[in-house]
Copies of this chain bind each other. A is one copy, B any other.
Amino acid sequence: MSEQNRPPRIHDVAKMAGVSVATVSRAMSNPAIVSEATRKAVEDAIAATGYTLNLTARNLRQQQVGGVLALVPNLANPFFSQILAGISEVLRRRGLSLLVMDTTSVADKPALAALGPYLNRSRSDGVIVLDGSLDPNLFTRPGCPPVVQACEWIDGLDAPRVLADNVEGGRLAARHLTGLGHRHILHMTGPAPNSLTASRRQGFLQGLAEAGLPEPGPADSIPGNFETRSGVEAAPRILAMDPRPTAIFCDNDEMAIGVIHGLTMAGVAVPDDISVMGFDNIEMSGFCLPPLTTIRQYRTRLGRRAAELLLDRMQGGDDRRTVILDVELMERASTAAPPAGSANSP
């Protein structure tokens, strides 16, 4: 047994099949242009040798990497991983691999220095950015592969975007709460620079105006950071407000769950005393107590669309339009009419 240690190469297949390496390559990538007999011989030789293509060699010759890079603000956050699932699905159908990079872990260094080397044609064939806090200049440097923004976006970055309809979501939230009779609604927002924060706020204000409510003042919103803890910590501050709001719209579900946690711990009942709603419809929102009224966005679909858009750009397409995906109100048990004695009653 002269067991060859190294894996077989195309040359070995060619020798066994009695053809040239070029013919083997053609038989694999474009079977139509080789004769039936040759194709059969090559297939047999491949099976006999156990040959598998060396992708690195192909990629070098074809000047590509065979993979797409996803820049994720926080891999540990389920919100993003579900988008990744959608991306992954589309990429694999095209034989491309998914490279993932967590941008939080590079947050200490200047992003440009830490991320720069990765945004290069030799590292990936395309990039999907899920982190809206990155420097737009990162993506305009020479050698940067095609970019698509998903979910969040970067101001001033001229690349296609795939977004949920955050404005409409904000409007739906306002409409739902005002429809229940609420007149004094607190808005717990995401971090100020975040692109989602601004558009959800915009829709929310629009919805309030449509309901005939006066423009809310600065005291009618409270900033959070999208994390559950910030919701918990907001609760006592909310309870100290005078007048106390009868409803709270949170910019995501985690904060809403945190707020409910904090309020409940303080002995305030949701939704009987205060209504709380969220945004995103994360898995848990249907199962927490009370089940959370929220705005649903389709994260897997969002990932898929982003990947498709990127593939189009990678093939030379120049479709720069922004794709907006529908959102939907999920009415559950964390919202109700304001308590009878509340100051809101006409």
Residue ranges of A at the interface with B (Cβ–Cβ < 8 Å): 7, 50, 52-57, 59-60, 65, 67, 74-78, 80-82, 84-85, 88-89, 92, 97-102, 105-106, 117, 120-123, 142-143, 228, 232, 257-258, 260-261, 264, 283-284, 286-289, 291, 300
Contacts and interface: CB of A to CB of B under 8 A. Distances in A.
Task: Give this chain's copy count.
Answer: 2
23 contacts: A7-B121, A52-B143, A56-B60, A56-B65, A57-B60, A75-B81, A76-B81, A76-B85, A77-B78, A78-B78, A85-B105, A88-B101, A88-B102, A89-B102, A92-B101, A98-B100, A228-B287, A257-B284, A257-B287, A258-B287, A261-B289, A284-B288, A288-B288
A121 B288 CA distance: 45
A289 B98 CA distance: 37
Contacts of A54: 60, 122
A228 B81 contact: no
Nearest to A142: B50
A274 to B, nearest CB: 15
Contacts of A288: 257, 261, 284, 288-289
Contacts of A52: 117, 120, 122, 143
Contacts of A100: 84, 88, 98-100
A55 B52 CA distance: 21
B123 A102 contact: no
A212 to B, nearest CB: 35
Contact of A7 (B82, B143, B287): B143
Contacts of A99: 67, 97-100
Contacts of A121: 7
Contacts of A97: 67, 99, 101, 123
Contact of A88 (B75, B117, B260): B75
A120 B58 CA distance: 15
Contacts of A102: 85, 88-89
Contacts of A56: 56, 59-60, 65, 122
B67 A75 contact: no
A81 B88 contact: no
A271 to B, nearest CB: 13
Contacts of A286: 228
Contacts of A289: 260-261, 264, 288-289
A56 B59 CA distance: 7
A15 to B, nearest CB: 19
